[in-house]
Chains A and B, each alone.
Chain A
Amino acid sequence: AQRVTQPEKLLSVFKGAPVELKCNYSYSGSPELFWYVQYSRQRLQLLLRHISRESIKGFTADLNKGETSFHLKKPFAQEEDSAMYYCALSGQRGGSEKLVFGKGTKLTVNP
């Protein structure tokens, strides 16, 4: 079974401070992991995915298969980073993609 756990419902940091949003997963196959972000009153949008290994808006995430984690990190948080962040895992079933989301972490960056 696919499962994604985001242990922190709320996370509050000050501008310029480092931020880490935790994500752990459970999946029997090779996982494909994503971070999606939802800014206030905007659509859910992809932030980054582990397979591309890129840095978007200063965020990075490394897949650690030993710890089954895919934590999202940014060295210096900005106020515009305040949003809801969802970690998600996909596995193929029936030829289509089933994306399972964690419960989300609401990040607030204070001035």
Chain B
Amino acid sequence: DTEVTQTPKHLVMGMTNKKSLKCEQHMGHRAMYWYKQKAKKPPELMFVYSYEKLSINESVPSRFSPECPNSSLLNLHLHALQPEDSALYLCASSRPSPISTIYFGEGSWLTVV
């Protein structure tokens, strides 16, 4: 299994809703990531977890709350989002090493209305 699986593929939520994006990998990777990608733009790093601990938070607003329940799962909890948060949210994983390849999921398309 060399895939990173993300659910849901599409999500539409209101600005007062609470929702979660989920990510799963079974490659034994101990580093997991959330990236945000706006249309026609490169992915931008949001969070990095290493050995289930948050190691990098790229000054992401608190309305985005990551969670790493175990070494295979990564969640992104969403609350009180703004329309400008609409984007493709990519989960990725790798071995926690600077020479490791990062594998990406297909992403979750989020629309905030």
A is bound by B? yes
Interface residues of A (CB under 8 A from B): 32, 34, 36, 42-46, 49, 51, 86, 90-104
- Asked whether B42 lies within 8 Å of A86 as measured between CB atoms, the reply is yes
CA distance A49 to B102 in the complex (A): 11
Q: State the total of A-B contacts with C-beta under 8 angstroms.
A: 66
Cβ-defined contact, A43 with B42, below 8 A: no
Residue of B nearest to A51 (CB): B99
Contacts of B99 in A (CB 8 A): 32, 51
What are 19 A-B pairs with beta-carbon distances under 8 A?
A32-B99, A42-B106, A43-B105, A44-B90, A46-B101, A46-B102, A90-B98, A90-B102, A92-B97, A94-B50, A94-B55, A95-B50, A95-B51, A95-B55, A96-B49, A96-B55, A96-B56, A97-B96, A100-B45
State in angstroms the CA–CA spacing of A110 and B106 once bound together: 27
In the assembled complex, the Cα of A108 lies from the Cα of B94 at a distance in Å of 30
